[in-house]
Amino acid sequence: MGRFHAARLSEVRNAEFAGCFDIDKGKAATCAREHKVRAFDSLDDMIELVDAVSIAVPTSAHYEVASIFLGRRKPVLLEKPIAANLEMAANLVALADSNQTILQIGHSERFNPAFLAVEKGISDPKFIETHRLAPFKGRGIDVSVIFDLMVHDLDLIMALTGSIPTRIEAAGVAVITETIDIVNARLEFPNGCVANVTASRISVKEMRKLRVFQKSGYTSIDLAAREAEQYLTASQDSEDFHQALLFGRMGLPDGRAIVKRKIEIPSGDNLKFEILSFIEAIQGIHPPVVTGCDGYNVLKVATEIDRLCDEYLMKI
């Protein structure tokens, strides 16, 4: 993942990519050569010469590395999940707060152009359904699919509802690896919204879809293809209603029509948008979009889903 961060950092114009560090000196040298930056010999060398840092290390090292920089009041963009456990996550959030330092968590789907295009139009979701399916790749298997893939959708769902779930049900199984490979969870939120969340890393085809239902209509987002469409209700005096009749859209008993809208999605890259947003947060243009608290809440829900899956496995 670090090489992707390096590639995007080299493209930004509102910050200077100062250099990189990797415990594998060969990887650090390759990165430095490709992007014409410095390969630091140690984190101590790096911390003296940078204003902020993007951390893309194994989850087990998140706490150790991030705490070094936060302790020196250096803003941190930290890959997801925030930490290996809730205690470490809470300590990172507390350290960032006590040092008044930015901690942004790398839930990059929050910056997916398709999600950004529809997010503001979703105000009161009542039912959410997500599918995040991926073929088996043989990497990232030290953690379950919950922490590897599902956390992306947990973050999106909690961003849309503006809350954490009050009730969680979950079941999952290990099929190829020693950890959970496929999982389904049902989440209930304070406003009555229900979310059905499925994640798999052993599927034949890739799928990253999010569907949101609210009183005003239905929104479907293909996060992989970066496409989105909406089905909205239109009253008889609206222009949309007459267009709906023209195309034979179905009518409702109260005389309204259902209108399909294809959403125009601007081009862009999730990770680059995420990095640009991090830099803007440092510059004081806006607060971090995905805060340390957001990362903690996602990890808290993911940890509970993991616990419920363990209970489920004990029964079968």
The domains of the chain, with CATH numbers, are: 2-109+272-291 (3.40.50.720), 227-264 (no CATH)
Contact of 169 with 307, CB cutoff 8 Å: no
Query: pLDDT tens for residues 199-246?
Result: 999 999 999 999 999 988 899 999 999 999 988 776 554 555 555 544
Using a 10 angstrom Cβ sphere, with 0-12 exposed, 13-18 middle and 19 or more buried, the burial of residue 195 is buried
The tens place of each residue's pLDDT in the chain, 316 residues long, gives 788 888 898 888 889 999 999 999 999 999 999 999 999 999 999 999 999 999 999 999 999 999 999 999 999 999 999 999 999 999 999 999 999 999 999 999 999 999 999 999 999 999 999 999 999 987 767 789 999 999 999 999 999 999 999 999 999 999 999 899 999 999 999 999 999 999 999 999 999 999 999 988 899 999 999 999 988 776 554 555 555 544 445 555 555 667 778 899 999 999 999 999 999 999 999 999 999 999 999 999 999 999 999 998 888 7
DSSP letter at 268 equals -
Contact of 80 with 140, CB cutoff 8 Å: no
pLDDT of res. 161: 97
Tokens matching residue 270: 């999730």
Contact of 146 with 128, CB cutoff 8 Å: no
Contact of 8 with 269, CB cutoff 8 Å: yes
From residue 130, how far is each of 85, 88, 149 by CA, in Å?
Answer: 24, 28, 12
Q: Of 143, 251, 127, which Cα lies nearest the Cα of 201?
A: 143
Residue that the structure tokens 């030290």 belong to: 142
